[in-house]
Amino acid sequence: METESKMKRRGAGLLVALAVLLVTAAAGFLAGRWWMMERYPMLKDPAFANLDYTYREIMSDYLYGADSSELIHGAAKGMTASLRDPYSAYYAGEEGKEYVQRYDDHIVGIGVEIREEDGEFVVTSAYKGAPADEAGIRKDDVIVAVDGVSMKGKTMQELVSRTRGEVGTKVTITIRRDGLTEPFDVTLVREEIPVTTVYAEMLDDGIGKVQITRFAEGTGKEFGKAVDELLAQGMRGLLLDLRSNPGGLLSSTLEVASRLIPKDKVILEVVYKDEKRRITYTSTQSKAWDKPITVLIDESSASSAEVLAAALRDSAGAKLVGMKTFGKGVVQTFRPLKDGSVLKLTESEWVTPSGGRINKVGIEPHVEVGLPEYASLPVLPTDEVLKVGSLGQDVRTAERMLEAVGYDPGEPEGIYDERTAAAVERFQRDERLTPTGTISGRTAFKLMDRLRTKLKEEDPQLKEAVRTLRGMIEGK
Q: Quick one: 349 exposed, middle or buried, by C-beta within 10 A (0-12, 13-18, 19+)?
A: middle
461 or 131, which is more confident: 461
Burial 136-146 (b: 16+ CB within 10 A, else e): ebeeebbbebb
- Residue 123 scores a pLDDT above 90: no
Q: How confident is the model at residue 441 (pLDDT cuts 50, 70, 90)?
A: confident
- Give 464's contacts (C-beta < 8 A, 6+ positions apart): 321, 367, 369
Highest mean pLDDT among 35-44, 174-183, 416-425: 416-425
- Give me the catalytic one of 209, 291, 319, 328: 328
> Is-catalytic flag, 101?
no
Q: What is the mean pLDDT of the chain?
A: 87
- Give me the catalytic one of 211, 332, 341, 428: 332
Instruction: Read off the amino acid at residue 50.
Output: N
Q: Helices 250-260 and 219-232, interaxial angle, to 10°? A: 20
- Give me the catalytic one of 283, 303, 315, 341: 303
CA angle (299 as vertex; 295, 300 as ends), nearest 5: 85
How many Cα atoms are found within 13 Å in the side-chain-facing hemisphere of 125?
3
- Residue 417 scores a pLDDT above 90: yes
Instruction: Read off the amino acid at residue 353.
Output: P
Instruction: Read off the amino acid at residue 215.
Output: F
Q: Quick one: 105 exposed, middle or buried, by C-beta within 10 A (0-12, 13-18, 19+)?
A: middle
Q: How far apart are CA 352 and CA 309, in angstroms?
A: 10
**The pTM is what?**
0.80
* Backbone CA torsion sign across 125, 128, 129, 133: positive
User: Domains in the chain and their CATH numbers?
Assistant: 106-194 (2.30.42.10), 198-371 (3.90.226.10), 374-458 (1.10.101.10)
Q: Helices 393-404 and 441-458, interaxial angle, to 10°? A: 50
Percentage of residues in the chain with pLDDT exceeding 90? 60
Q: How far apart are CA 163 and CA 160, in angstroms?
A: 5
Q: Mind listing the pLDDT tens digit for each residue in 362-409?
A: 999 999 999 999 988 888 877 789 999 999 999 999 999 999 999 999
> Is-catalytic flag, 393?
no
